[in-house]
């Protein structure tokens, strides 16, 4: 077999997630089909993150295993990929490389606005919460997330994990122009030139963890949860009921996956 490490980006708006499911439109399904068009023999793929329905990626890492010894490069793969997926680079890698296990950290970005109107184009790539937000309280809660915490109240049931403890290296909430993030990518901004960006970098993440965090932060921002409530959820006992809904997937981006050898 021949092994490659590829970095791809994709618009997940019209797909039910990354992971292949028979008869369903997925990013992995599209990727595998494209690889089969340009390579002979068996081809398999494995991702650093199995992003959910509607979630995007700017720097997803994929391991490609191919029987065909023919040279595979980004230019060739892009000739076969559909418009919503782009390969940024490909390089040979060891057969033992496992992108989801060997990673040092992942970085996610979540873009949202609470302005009254968002255009159709922006609705694909920027989430919206309709409430005024107390940003000072949001910032206080964002600071709490740094370090090692138990995120058992900020995840969905399911996924493969032995612990709900996670290490968060960096976390912040800033105002940004989405055009800066989308420059030289598949994504395009519409009329929105200013939105909020929740950035979080960690060793690993639980199922739907970022979207649960954003949903809870929005409730803090609109006063339906206090800062003290948020702290208790982060440091206290498991709560069976969560008063928030997971934030819209369309605002979530897997920005980068890092490895210690880089």
**Cα–Cα dist 65/3, whole Å:** 5
Tens-digit pLDDT profile for the chain (262 aa)?
A: 999 999 999 999 999 999 999 989 999 999 999 999 999 999 999 999 999 999 999 999 999 999 999 999 999 999 999 999 999 999 999 999 999 999 999 999 999 998 876 666 677 899 998 889 999 999 999 999 999 999 999 999 876 678 999 999 999 999 999 999 999 999 988 888 899 999 999 999 999 999 999 999 999 999 999 999 999 999 988 888 888 999 999 999 999 999 986 6
**Alpha-carbon dihedral sign for residues 13, 134, 191, 88:** negative
**Cα–Cα dist 243/147, whole Å:** 25
Asked if 240 contacts 151 with a C-beta cutoff of 8 angstroms, the reply is no
| Cβ-based burial of 79 (10 A; exposed 0-12, middle 13-18, buried ≥19) | exposed
**Cα–Cα dist 193/240, whole Å:** 39
DSSP state of 157: S
pTM score, whole prediction = 0.94
DSSP state of 16: S
Q: Which domains does the chain have, with CATH numbers?
A: 2-92 (3.30.70.580), 104-259 (3.30.70.660)
């Amino acid at each position: 077999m021949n092994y490659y490490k590829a970095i791809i980006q994709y618009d997940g708006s019209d797909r039910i997630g990354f992971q292949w499911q028979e008869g369903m439109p997925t990013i992995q399904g599209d990727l595998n089909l494209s690889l089969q068009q340009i390579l002979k023999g068996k081809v398999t793929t494995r991702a650093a993150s199995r992003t959910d329905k509607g979630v995007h990626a700017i720097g997803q890492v994929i391991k490609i295993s191919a029987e065909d010894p023919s040279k595979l490069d980004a230019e060739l793969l892009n000739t076969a990929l559909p418009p919503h997926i782009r390969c940024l680079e490909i390089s040979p890698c060891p057969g033992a490389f496992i992108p989801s296990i060997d990673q040092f950290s992942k970085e996610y970005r979540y873009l949202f606005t609470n302005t009254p109107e968002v255009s159709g184009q922006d609705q694909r790539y920027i989430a919206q919460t309709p409430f005024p937000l107390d940003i000072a309280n949001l910032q206080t809660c964002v600071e709490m997330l740094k370090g090692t915490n138990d995120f058992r109240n900020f995840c969905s049931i399911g996924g493969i994990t032995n612990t709900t403890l996670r290490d968060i290296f960096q976390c912040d909430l800033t105002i940004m122009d989405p055009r800066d993030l989308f420059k030289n990518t598949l994504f395009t901004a519409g009329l929105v030139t200013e939105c909020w960006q929740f950035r979080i970098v960690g060793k690993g993440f639980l199922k739907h963890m970022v979207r649960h965090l954003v949903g809870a932060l929005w409730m803090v921002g609109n006063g339906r949860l206090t800062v003290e409530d948020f702290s208790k959820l982060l440091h206290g006992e498991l709560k069976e009921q969560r008063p928030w809904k997971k934030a819209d997937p369309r605002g979530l981006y897997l920005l980068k996956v890092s490895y210690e050898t880089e």
